[in-house]
Each structure stands twice: as C-alpha cells, then as structure tokens.
Amino acid sequence: MLLTGYGPDERPVLLAGDLNGTASGQHWPQRDWPACPYPLRLAKGRQQPDGSWTADTSAVDHLIGRWDPATQRRCEGAGFHALPDLAMQQGTPQQQAMRPTVNSPVDRGGELIIDLMLINDTWLHAGGLVPGSYQVHLPPPGRTYPQSWWFDHRLATATL
C-alpha cells in the first residue's frame, strides 16, 4: 500500500524487484497448482472457495490493475504499468514478453513472472518502454539450475 501513492506522482517512477507475486491476465504464465506441493502453494497461490488454487495476483494487480477479460484491458490499478504488458502491446512476441523470470525447475508446476519492472503513468507518457528492448534472459545453453547454473531467477532488462 505504501507504493500506491507513487502511481499518480508527477515524477517518473520505476519500481523493480522480486515481488514474489504475479499479475492476472490471459497472457501471463500460470502454474499447474496441483503439481505444486501443498505447503509451497501458499507462497504464491490462493485457494478459491471451490477448493481449487490460482495465483495470488492481488498485490501486483493492486499496482497495475486487474485484468478484465471482457474489455481485454487492465482496470482499477494504482497508476503503474508492467513492462511485460507494455512489451506485448508494442508487438513483442508473447513467448518473449511473457517469459517466466524464474528458472526451471525452481517452482514445481511451472514458473511465473515474479520479478517485475513497473513504471508509472508519468514515465509512460514521457516515452515509456523502448520497443523491442524488454527481455528476460535464459541461462546459456547447457546450463541448468542448480546443477550448473547458480541463479534461480532470470535477468530481466529493458531500455526506458
């Protein structure tokens, strides 16, 4: 909640970090929650009233807005924009724009985008994301976590 006030700020604001949460949206990667052991589901998941599990998107959606499937847009956000969404809007292929930021096989059931860069409206209107610059980098070929690659998260880069 402390970050909410920076969304409508007149200064350009960039939030970047391992948010340990993902966003709602049809293009965002999802986990196979039954494949994830129960104790680990609570770290990034939320149980529905019917007993099924889904990603807990509440914190990130608070900042960037929840995905509305009817309008195919985000609504009710605090004035921030996620770079994966902006990259998709600019024409970056989905497999590149929505590449998970966690390496395989860290999270059983599938990896999510939890390392995020968010910009506020002011930064977006001042130029925003340079088209084609957002990337989530894969480990070098033949390097796998944890056997021969020590990072469990992937590097994400962009030019603003």
Angle at CA 156, nearest 5°, toward 21 and 53?
Answer: 25
Q: At 43, list the tokens.
A: 């770290």
One DSSP character per residue, 9-66 reads -SS--EEEEE-S----STTS----GGGS-HHHHHHHEEE-TTS-EEE--HHHHHHH-E
Is the residue at 133 inside a domain?
yes
pLDDT of 96 strictly over 70:
yes
Cis amide leading into 140 (omega within 30): no
Neighbours of 129 (CB within 10 A): 23
CA-to-CA separations, 144 to 97, 138, 147, in angstroms, rounded? 21, 10, 6
pLDDT of residue 160: 97
User: Which of 83, 33, 72 minimizes the C-alpha distance to 55?
Assistant: 33
pLDDT of residue 64: 98
Neighbours of 117 (CB within 10 A): 20
Is the residue at 160 inside a domain?
no
pLDDT of 58 strictly over 70:
yes
Mean predicted lDDT score pLDDT of the chain: 94
Neighbours of 151 (CB within 10 A): 13
Is the residue at 147 inside a domain?
yes
**What integer is the mean pLDDT of 49-62?**
96
| Contact between 120 and 12 (Cβ < 8 Å) | yes
Quote the pTM value. Answer: 0.93
What is the C-alpha separation between 152 and 105, in angstroms, rounded? 9
What is the C-alpha separation between 160 and 149, in angstroms, rounded? 29
User: Which of 43, 18, 19, 25 minimizes the C-alpha distance to 33?
Assistant: 43
Query: Residue 77: pLDDT band by 50, 70, 90 thresholds?
Result: very high
pLDDT of 105 strictly over 90:
no
pLDDT of residue 148: 87
The boundaries of the domain holding residue 74 are 4-155
Give the lowest-confidence range in 18-22, 104-108, 129-133: 104-108
What is the number of domains present in the chain? 1
User: Which of 158, 68, 152, 71 minimizes the C-alpha distance to 112?
Assistant: 152
